[in-house]
Amino acid sequence: MKQTIEWLVGGQQGEGIDSTGELFAKVLVKSGASVSTYKQFMSRIKGGHTNYKLRASAEHSYYSGEKIDILVCLDQETFDMHEHQLKKGSIAITEGEEISITETELGFIKAVFPLKSIAVKLGNSLAKNMISLGISGSLAGLEVSYFEQLMEELFEKKGEKVIETNIKAVQYGYELAEQYLSTYRMPFGEQLKKKAMKPQLFISGNEATAFGSFMAGCRYLSAYPITPASEVMEWLAEELPKVGGVVMQVEDEIAGICFAIGASYSGVRAMTSTSGPGFSLKSEAIGMAGMAEIPIVIVNSQRGGPSTGLPTKHEQSDLQQMIHGTHGEIPRIVLYPATIEDAFYLASEAFNLADRYQCPVIVALDLGMSMNKMSVPAFDVDRVSIDRGKLLTDDEASDYEETHFKRYRLTEDGISPRPKPGMKHAVHTTSSNEHDEFGYICEDVDNRIKMMKKRLEKITDAQIQVPFKHNPALESEVILVGMGSTYGAIKEAAAQLQVGHLHLQQIHPLPIKELEKIFENKTIITVENNFNAQLLQVLKQGMPIHNRSQSVVQFDGNPFTVETIITKVREMM
């Protein structure tokens, strides 16, 4: 019985490729499959090749795969680009003038259907995508009723006629597959029927991050639209007004972070979201938040750089910028969720860390996680707790009975009680210049040393609940180390290689003591999507692993495949 099915639809940007892929993915999720997706598109509004790839499996998986069982080609370019991913038994559905079914020399089936002309006869010239979905659904052994239910939900606002024509097109696709391809069916759906189906979310990393922020009490976001981070703002723009929150689409990236810092200073949980070039523009303000000790959460979804680079392609090359970006030295915490579930929980934890340590907390994502959806179990919202740290209530502030409150009071843990503006007995001064305990500008040498130690040392022992995910392999002397959306590919590669796998979620400050124990006498191989092996450099700065560490890097704009990781790691072992 087939355990997984890999499917890809491709065509020209603007032809509804994304919608078609998403619809098929939702049907698979509805059928009970675990689905992981990856979409590729050009950085333009219309035109150029685009595709939507998915891998559905009976067991939960974090990897969107590398081969194709069913290839839906809405243009010739798609077939030419993806033919090499087909294997014996795969089926390529292509457009042509007459119906023909051919077994190729490579062992895959090429099925030609006049999709456009059939769509016109059905009364909807745009329905070729739906016909191809029907063919795909039949081949995968999925029940047509799932398509019908979804059409009614999706097109409810467009009326009965639209629902009816689309259902008719999908049903026609089923009939075509039954008539011409019945001997090539892949009974994946039969496998799913044997498993108990539990409700699943089908959600992207951006949406999960926004959701986690919302549940943590974030009520303000100011940002400027940028790929691939915009979805964070779009999700919160829908949800925050319902609970009295605010989303500001501001004039640029600098305003995006400065507005959020202002909101946070007033006591509201606030954040900003961006991608690499936008993060660069926010650098000076990040320094201001660090110096003024104002909590702020910054989501940075990485894309291909530098400059405008590869704006719609995947990369993990902002790591050093997130750890070091700004002038001078400030306290900051950098988190990097390994999965979409982690994106939800780490986003909520980020707000607690920002409040607790009164510093910027950066949540790193990458395009591979940000924009791609995955089916995941429903989030456990009871795991989300809210800790505002030393944010004072009115009564607590009054207890100090100070005419001018010591905002930057020196304490044992380096963290000062924080009043909100306007509180009685808590009139205070905040400054981005070096300052004394009252917030007054002060360049005295002793004061400078005390304040620098207070700010920089307060995060020394900061540690999140799950700083890394670790899957040890018995007696293996090799550990593959990764971050972000490479989790699924590395996990599967490590299992096949029978080596350990560690995925880091707390990038800065590094959980050095815990990592040293795991890395002792092991060979470390980082697997990362950048040129300079930035993750390995970070690890080397914290631990003496220089003579027993290597890296596998890829920086072509595409995510790793399991096959690539295995090949490169075997060359090193």
Would you say the C-alpha torsion 175, 196, 55, 336 has a positive or negative sign? Answer: positive
pLDDT category, 194, cuts 50, 70, 90? low
* pLDDT value for 123: 85
- Amino acid identity of residue 158, one-letter, is K
Mean pLDDT of all residues belonging to the chain: 95
CA–centroid distance for 505 within its chain: 13
Six-digit token string for 364: 């790193």
pLDDT category, 282, cuts 50, 70, 90? very high
pLDDT at residue 143 above 70?
A: yes
Contacts of 351 (CB under 8 A, 6+ apart): 213, 216, 217, 218, 269, 271, 295, 297, 361, 386
pLDDT digits (tens, 9 = 90+) for 452-510: 999 999 999 999 999 999 998 877 999 999 999 999 999 999 999 999 999 999 999 99
d(CA 515, CA 187) in angstroms, rounded, equals 44
| pTM for the model | 0.96
Of 372, 198, 370, which Cα lies nearest the Cα of 299? 370
Name the least confident of 147-156, 405-414, 516-525: 147-156
pLDDT digits (tens, 9 = 90+) for 335-372: 999 999 999 999 999 999 999 999 999 999 999 999 99
pLDDT digits (tens, 9 = 90+) for 172-186: 999 999 999 999 999
pLDDT category, 100, cuts 50, 70, 90? very high
Q: Which residue has the tokens 């698979």?
A: 28
* pLDDT value for 475: 77
pLDDT category, 46, cuts 50, 70, 90? confident
d(CA 148, CA 150) in angstroms, rounded, equals 5
Average pLDDT, integer, range 128-138: 96
Average pLDDT, integer, range 313-340: 98
pLDDT digits (tens, 9 = 90+) for 495-534: 999 999 999 999 999 999 999 999 999 999 999 999 999 9
What Cα–Cα distance (Å) separates residue 88 from each residue in 76, 125, 268, 484? 20, 33, 58, 33
Residue ranges of alpha helices (H) inside 55-124 are 76-82, 115-121
Report the side by side order of strands in the sheet with 500-504.
468-471, 500-504, 478-482, 523-528, 549-553
In contact, 363 and 350? CB cutoff 8 Å: yes
Cα R_g (the chain), whole angstroms: 26
